[in-house]
Chain A
Amino acid sequence: MQFEYTPYILPLLLAGVSSVWVAYYARSHRSVLGASALTFLALAAGIWTIGYALEIAGADLETKVLWSKVQYVGVTTVPLLWLIFCYNYFNQNRQLPQRVIVALGIVPLITFLLVLTTESHGWIWSEYHVSRTGDFSGLKVTHGFWFNIFWVYSQLLVLAGIYFILRLISHKHGLYRGQIVALLGAAAVPLVGNLLYIFHLTPVPDLDPTSFGFAVAAVFMAWGIFRFQLMNLVPLARDTLVDAMEAGMIVIDAQRRVADINRAALTMIGRTIGQVIHQPAAEVLSRWPHLIKKYASVIEALDEIAIGEGEQQRWFELGLSPLRNNDGTVIGRLITLRDITEQRRMREQSQIQNKYLSILHEITLDLLNRRELNDLLQAIANHAADLLNAPYGEIMLKEGDELVVYSFTQNQNYLSGDRVGRDTAKLAWQAHDTGQPAVLDDYSAWSDHRAIYDQVHLTAVADFPVMVEGKCVAVIGMGRSEPGQVFTPEEVQTGILFSRLVGLVLDSANLYASAMREVAERKMTEFLLQESETRYRQIVENADELISRTTVEGVITYVNPTSLWLFGMKKTADILGRNYLEFVIPKWRAKVRRFYLRQFLSVEPKTYLEFPVLTADGHERWLGQNVQIIREANQIVGFQAVARDITAIKRAQEALSLARDQAQEASHFKGDLLARVSHELRTPLAGVLGYAELLRDQAFGPLSTDQMQAVETIAESSEYLSTVISDLMDQAQIEAKKLVLHFGECSPSELLQHLEEMMAVLAQKRGLTLRTILEPDVPGRVESDEQRLRQILINLVANAIKFTKQGEVRVRIFRPDPTHWAMQVSDTGVGVPEEAQATIFEPFQKVKSALTRDNRGIGLGLSITKQLIDLMDGQIVLTSQVGKGSTFLVTLPIHKTGR
């Protein structure tokens, strides 16, 4: 392989290197659509060019043929790659399908294979030889038939690529034109060179200028790349973004012509692209001269502008910003237009609503301050009219089956006292019944209109129901008389809000009214109280009783007229300030004083005392006086007395009591005698017993055994005598019916305990066991006379001990039935013979039988026991067997019976 230098190879090599550089650049931007195709295209062109340079530089035929064949790698692929690139880059972001590429690649592939084997068939080159012209030597070939087929095929592919570029150029403008021009230039130069070569029009014979074309094309490419950023901004991206934008966009160049405009902007200004591109902005926007005037010299702005009139009017946000080139000089302006009609409408609506709300707020405060119903209703009518810009306002309250006009704006005086039933004010009743506002655009033309309103010729009217707790309590009516001024939905909405507010206010006014009523009621109570005080005073003044008050010390602070009259005084001043004792008969004073002193000291709330007093004229009169303590803050501050003149009664009583005393004296003589005898017996007995005990206790010195026995006997005998006296007294009292039981709460368990304390020692002395049993079902408390219960039990147990020589005495308390309890005393003693059992409970029974040492007593014990049990409404039953023992069963009610 031999080469020789020729100057033609320099531009070729340059073009080749440029192509490779373009390939490299495109590859580094392969994310851009079409960049891969451009990479291969530039690479193929590079191979073509460099291959041709080496062919020219080849010194012999073999070298030239070899490199000529190498060129064909580029020759066969460039047209197809060109088409792929154009299609991908300019055709709506779509890629040429792979199967199409494969199909289109068949011819180039066959061509290349034929090139490699052309010596054998001559389809590409039928003849070839080295031809020299000056210092240029090329491979002179005569093309075979296939080459011509391939050539036509190649031109078709190139033209197809150009078609896609031209198709795009038809609706492209402004910025992207430069890119397209650059590409077309790059495509055209090699094409023209190829045509010159094919038709042998080159200045140097056999020199193929196509490759030189590639050198020029590389320059175009570089220009396109650097000047128009061919690889950085794909025209379609702009289409997609800018045209798809909802906002309108207009680019105005330095000459104030429209350089670019998107679809949205075209729609806004209502023109087509052909009518505006490259036209002066002033002309394009001639419909809005004020805009041109306003922004002619403004570079940057943000404003809201209205376009159109009336219903068609739309609002836009106008943005104006400068477009600068790399060195910062302004090369144009970008106008953006955003349709904000809807936002603006909503904003306005909310402003209106806010205005209404703030008015409502003020009204609320105003209404809440009005406490008088008529005043409040008048304010409601006025506010309603003001709020909805309706000159006529009224408010009707529901009263039974009628709506009654309570208040109205001053221009509707004819409504004064208007009451309407269902058949008259149908619109108001409709609002009442439905709970919804009733609105009419022209009231005077309505078939059911009321003549009363014809005076002002109402047109638009709206009636709003006022609801309180779900019930319509009032209707607010509003009216206008200007034709055409209907109530808008927004106004109706405001009216609804207002009527709700009125509902709340009326409700609270109602609460207030009821509070006021309560205050009035309280005042009434106070008045009644005063009145009742007056009444009581009258009662006191006119009472038959003597009513008075004193201090704690007894100084009189008040007397009623009756008192004055009784004491024969003229004025209250004659009594007030004096001590009450001054009016008491002198010999009674100490007693009366003591009596009330005691009441004061013992804080007895109420007492009654009868005593004689002295009147002014010296007469004695008897008073029966109730005295109550007056307390203030837990302290006694005085006495209040209500007294009655009992002089007459007292006289009668005295006479009566004399007779009664005499009778009583006789009847009580027996009882009194017994009591006195008892007392007189007991007193010396106390001395006997006391001294005997002191002696026994050796209080007066030691005693001998005999002396001790004697003293014991004295003590025992006197104790016995004491019980005999007690029994006699009881019996006497029972017979005189003077024995009174003192009922109270008694504990059966304590009763047994007391019994043991009293009797256990005695039983022990006699060598007996005293056993007590308390059954668990016996109540803890029974209602009885504890003292007498003890007496009964001790009597029975003492008897049992007395008549038992050996064994035990058993006391059992149990509950025979739910309403009774029982004491059972059993012994293992001698028993009671059957004939004696019948009379054993009669008094003095033992007296009849012989007194023995073992069996002493006057026989009152069992008799008294039975009588006590009878008084307690109980029963005593004896069961006995001679020699075996006796059982006394006492059954008593748990609760005191009515007797």
Chain B
Amino acid sequence: METFHFRAMNTDILLAAEGTPDGLADGFEKTRQLVASSEARFSRFLETSELSALNRGAGKWFQASPELFTVVSLSQQFYHRTRGLFDPSVLPDLRRVGYDRSMDLLREGPPAPLFESLLVVKRPSLIEMELDEEDQRILLPAGMALDLGGIAKGWIAEQAALLLSSYSPACAVDAGGDMFLIGIPEGEEAWPVALEDPLQSEAILVTLRANPGAVVTSSVTKRTWKQGQKQRHHLIDPRKGEPAITDWLSVTVLAAHAATAEVFAKALLIAGPQESEQVRREGGTLFSYLAVDRERKIWANPDAMEHVDVSIKPISV
């Protein structure tokens, strides 16, 4: 299997595909270009992105590209299906708690000032956003700004994998741990996917046997920063407008589509053990999930058990 690495969306991207180096070179390059152009469209950190233009135009109708309209429309559907636990309109709260620039810049610079977190501003509800499906226009109410970071990353990984699959029957796109898998590698029964320890990034907790589809993990230990003396993370609980306080450190979801996996990984992590099964039942879609708690115990719903390989295969470096 051939692999191709590059950096985009503030993360490491891995493409893997069965085939010959010559036969895959064009596929890898076209996939890289797709990821780069999608990042330019969906990044909230680029002033020139289409998403930034949409946010600046809040209060009036915005003519969206098919790609942006699709992801915004999906976001609205998932907002309802998670009863608001997934909410892309938390961007003002994300900025308020210090996540106002890319993670690379945030880690390089001084801690964000704590006083900003006190300036709570009431933001409009996502219910007030209007979509014109016929003309693909979006109306954000004044004061609303969207962050499509997670769901867009998942959606891009899936689109990239679909493009790569025209060059290879078995291929995968891993976008910083959010992955989409197509086909099954020759000689394998499933894709081996290692579940990383959320507290020790070089360690693996278990290996999953993943079928074609999406595997996405959401964690409160990866994108972290300091605001004053307070430790912050990027997962905002929309009900409180603050970084979520949760018993779980990470949730991994296996689903047919990457956007679904991305959204429910986030929603389940915010919901925590007490509400997670209700969120899954009411989600209106099939998926499996595993959660890692603060003692590194792994919790899983029965479907997910089928994917857990407790006898890790021998591996050679």
Query: Is chain B a partner of chain A in the same complex?
Result: no
**Interface of B with A (CB < 8 Å)?**
none
